[in-house]
Amino acid sequence: MIQNDILKVLYSKEELAQRTTELGKELTEDYRNKKPLLVGILKGAIFFTTDLAKAMDINVEIDFMDVSSYGNSTISSGEVKIIKDLSASAADRDIIIVEDIIDSGRTLEYLVSLFKRRGANTVKLVTLLDKPEGRVVDIKADYVGFLVPNEFVVGYGIDFAERYRNLPYVAVLKPEMYQ
């Protein structure tokens, strides 16, 4: 049972759903007369992207990009790799990048500059979790679900070495699990 590896639950399924609904309402207001391109960043943002899209009461186009910088470690390599690119063109679009977590900020810094180079009209960032203490580059999200303490979290899309993504809540693992 993967539940046995958990030290504590930080955000329950209900808290995640409630906050996602609130963010969806905010985005609905802010993008009322636009048709934004929602770009979920795989793999971590899979669940948040689909839940957030369902909480938005306007037409959105959904796309995904797969980038990775962590490999099988808890520490970012600092080098962002594109594993899968967008299907849609970013040119002239109002892009909303959807992330599960911002830590060092390197993934988002890379993506924001990439979409601007590709001619996006606007680029905004929404992240479920923000870990400000982890920041090494100057990046701020426009919409944040929760501020998280400086601990390595898993669940609701977030992995440790590709495990624990399918937990329905966000949690901290028992210390021995990170070894």
Give the interface with ligand PRP as residue ranges (CB under 6 A). Answer: 41-44, 68-70, 76, 99-107, 159
Q: Which distant-in-sequence residues (6+ apart) come within 8 Å of 3 by Cβ?
A: none
Question: Peptide bond before 43: cis, by omega within 30 degrees of 0?
Answer: yes
Closest CB 67 distance from ligand PRP, rounded Å: 7
Phi-psi region of 156 (alpha: psi -120 to 50; beta: other; left: phi over 0): left
CB 18 within 8 A of CB 121: no
Q: For the CA atoms of the chain, what is the radius of gyration?
A: 16
Q: Which of 51, 63, 103, 130 is catalytic?
A: 103
Determine whether 138 is an active site residue.
no
Closest CB 32 distance from ligand PRP, rounded Å: 28
Closest CB 70 distance from ligand PRP, rounded Å: 3
Of 31 and 47, CB closest to Mg ion: 47
Of 24 and 44, CB closest to ligand PRP: 44
CA distance 106 to 49: 20
* DSSP 8-state secondary structure symbol assigned to residue 169: S
Q: Which of Mn ion, Mg ion, ligand PRP, none does residue 76 bind (CB under 5 to 8 Å by kind)?
A: ligand PRP
Of 20 and 107, CB closest to ligand PRP: 107
Closest CB 140 distance from Mg ion, rounded Å: 21
Q: Does 70 bind Mg ion (CB under 5 A)?
A: yes
CB 91 within 8 A of CB 37: no
**Catalytically active residues, by annotation:** 103
* Residues binding Mn ion (CB under 5 A): 44
